[in-house]
Structure 1
Amino acid sequence: MNCSGCSPIYPIEGQGTLYLRPISPALLEALQTPGRLIETSDDMMWMDFSNLETVQNLIKEIGEIDPTLRDSLTVQIMPIYEQANEESWISLTMQESRFKHAELVSIILEHQFSSHMQPIVDASEQIIGYEFLLRPAENGKSFSSYELFEVARETGLHSFLDRLARITAIETSALFLPHGVKRFVNFLPSSIYNPEYCLTHTFEAIERLSLDPKDFVFEVVETEQIQHMPILQQIFEVYRSRGMSVALDDVGAGYSTIELMNRLEPDFVKIDRSLIDRCDQDSTKQEKILHIVEMSSRFGGQVLAEGIERMEEFEFCRSIGIELAQGYYFGKPSAQPPDGSYSNTSSNSWNN
């Protein structure tokens, strides 16, 4: 089994072949210029190219011949001797975007990023886990994570990037964290078409590195609009069936509403930083936070306060029973955990 999000993606370099479908008689006629060989089959046409500039010009030419083709024409650009397949077709618009954002696309395809970790603490300020966050590779090209994922979405690479980011987080956790330390790893629901298949790479990485599935918490990331609730519920079920936990991010703001929390019943409920900011001074925020805590207790969800930057915020959250916290007050994301982070880990009852 394969799908468009899990199929191999080839960088464009040197010689190759541009495939187009469906066949457009008008486009075929327009492209038939002296010296250009175009071959066809029942459902596609293709032409070879000798360098990157040539195929870029071809894509531009096709878009200019008939702009309406951007909505219907799909393309594949394959290395020389590689044949077109059923999974790798993308729209003409996506291919144009890949050329437009070539530098960021190369960062994605060449895996030029790393995973930094931000500490998560319990009520006694002991580090019990980390959230893993995408960052530029050491000595690599600079980028913002938000921009990289937006370009990935625009170019049809978001499933590819999301999968690589998860595996990078898992591999990084294996380098630095002992068993028993929680690892919060983000995922995009829209990148997972078939949970049983698309998450195989994630489960294989955990098994390959001899890690404990119980140490992993997979969380729905911020700004990810939930459009297909049954699919997300199925994703949660698949993670849990493998012994892992699930979390809902940014509860109380944006798309992660309290209603969504009640329907999904995540193992961890992460309260949005906009509610936590100055919560010790704002009675309206306090009421909203208390409501989330009360609702979470009904299904046994552990509540985590995000964005803690002041002791007063932490003290308020702790006073109303919030057990976990995360924010710059406890530590910024870094390539490695601080020394001496795990002196009490083995006896921490939270992980039992």
Structure 2
Amino acid sequence: MSTASGCSACRDGKGLSFPISMAFQPIVNLSTGAIFAHEALVRGTAGESAGSLLGRLSKDDLYPFDQACRIAALEWAAKLQVPAMVSINFMPNAVYKAETCIRATLEAAQRLSFPLQRIIFEVTEQEQVLDIDHVSGILRAYRKQGFMTAIDDFGAGYAGLNLLADFQPDLIKLDMQLIRNIDQDSVRQILVDATLQMCRKLNIRVIAEGIESLGELRTLQDMGVELFQGYLLAKPAFEALPDVHLPS
């Protein structure tokens, strides 16, 4: 994608052609029992899934969709008075020049009096990223603004360790398929343990997402994981903050 095209997108300010809303799912620190963050998950205004919305997008819609999601996430977080961090997914292939594309987010945060230090930007490893230097540059620009950064679905996608070698985020989220039934799978335990050791040396915190069973949770706790997200703790709540079910 060319920078010129990106600047044009920012100047033109094309809006999304359909409305969106948000659901929220907590990330819980089970060592303290406190909510570390709420992830903002895009939905249709009637609760339609993110997949159904993504299926409506053309290439020209990526930029306005990405911008609309950021702003909607902050607006709903402010409306619901989210007491913790807010984690927002972004589409790296929709960002042309980070310093320019972040302006609407900064303006929304200022308008809503939402501290930048309470915003996490997640880049998903499942989106095909053709230019790792581009993604690393975006993450560095976001960190410079005071945002926390995260790699989502780590272990699932295209970038792998190459992205981590170029940029060390504040957080990584282990892909749910990597931890599914980990309590019954010694190979998964070895792979996750190696990842945890690497992250400790790099000073990166790890989130286990997609936790569905007590066995998965206990195994990961024994391996040193503190931050968890998944249906076992709370399902996403549409336009609301869900109750969290802490395991006894």
TM-score between both structures, scaled by the size of structure 2: 0.89
State the Cα deviation string for residues 279-315 of structure 1 (Å, max 9, x = none): 0110010111111111111221100001000111111
Give the Cα separation in 2 of the matches to 1:155 and 1:187.
15
State the Cα deviation string for residues 40-83 of structure 1 (Å, max 9, x = none): xxxxxxxxxxxxxxxxxxxxxxxxxxxxxxxxxxxxxxxxxxxx
Give matches, 1:93-172, under 5 Å.
Answer: 108-110=16-18, 112-124=19-31, 125-137=33-45, 140=46, 143-152=48-57, 154-172=58-76
Give the Cα separation in 2 of the matches to 1:321 and 1:166.
32
**Partner in structure 2 of residue 303 of structure 1:** 206
Give the Cα separation in 2 of the matches to 1:290 and 1:339.
30
Give yes or no for the alignment of 1:193 onto 2:197: no
Q: Secondary structure at the match of 1:225?
A: coil
Contact 1:149 1:158 (8 Å CA) reproduced = no
**Partner in structure 2 of residue 243 of structure 1:** 146
State the Cα deviation string for residues 82-119 of structure 1 (Å, max 9, x = none): xxxxxxxxxxxxxxxxxxxxxxxxxx413x22111001
Bigger-Rg structure (1/2): 1
Contact 1:249 1:256 (8 Å CA) reproduced = no
Higher relative contact order (CA 8 A, sep 6+): 2
**Partner in structure 2 of residue 5 of structure 1:** 9
**Partner in structure 2 of residue 337 of structure 1:** 241
Q: Secondary structure at the match of 1:151?
A: coil
**Residue 173 of structure 1: which of 70, 77, 82 is its match?**
77
Name structure 1 gaps, 5 residues minimum: 11-107, 342-352
Give matches, 1:15-34, under 5 Å.
Answer: none
- The number of equivalent residue pairs is 238
Give the Cα separation in 2 of the matches to 1:151 and 1:255.
23
**Partner in structure 2 of residue 76 of structure 1:** none
Amino acid at match of 1:8: G
Amino acid at match of 2:150: A
Give % identity: 34
State the Cα deviation string for residues 303-332 of structure 1 (Å, max 9, x = none): 000100011111111111112010000111
Q: Which moved more, 1:114-123 or 1:250-259?
A: 250-259
Name structure 2 gaps, 5 residues minimum: none
Task: Say if 1:121 and 1:166 are closer, same or farther in 2 by CA, change over 3 A.
Answer: same
Aligned-residue CA RMSD (Å)? 2.1
**Partner in structure 2 of residue 286 of structure 1:** 189
Cα offset, 1:150, TM superposition: 3.9
Contact 1:5 1:157 (8 Å CA) reproduced = no
State the Cα deviation string for residues 181-208 of structure 1 (Å, max 9, x = none): 1111000011110111011111111111
Task: Say if 1:340 and 1:315 are closer, same or farther in 2 by CA, change over 3 A.
Answer: closer
TM-score between both structures, scaled by the size of structure 1: 0.63
**Partner in structure 2 of residue 41 of structure 1:** none
Amino acid at match of 1:253: A
Give the Cα separation in 1 of the matches to 2:125 and 2:209.
12
Contact 1:121 1:129 (8 Å CA) reproduced = yes
Contact 1:251 1:261 (8 Å CA) reproduced = no
Contact 1:166 1:202 (8 Å CA) reproduced = yes
Cα offset, 1:156, TM superposition: 1.2
Q: Secondary structure at the match of 2:201?
A: helix
Give the Cα separation in 2 of the matches to 1:275 and 1:212.
33
Contact 2:150 2:171 (8 Å CA) reproduced = yes
Following TM superposition, where does structure 1 have runs of at least 4 consecutive aligned residues deviating by more than 6 angstroms?
none
**Partner in structure 2 of residue 320 of structure 1:** 223
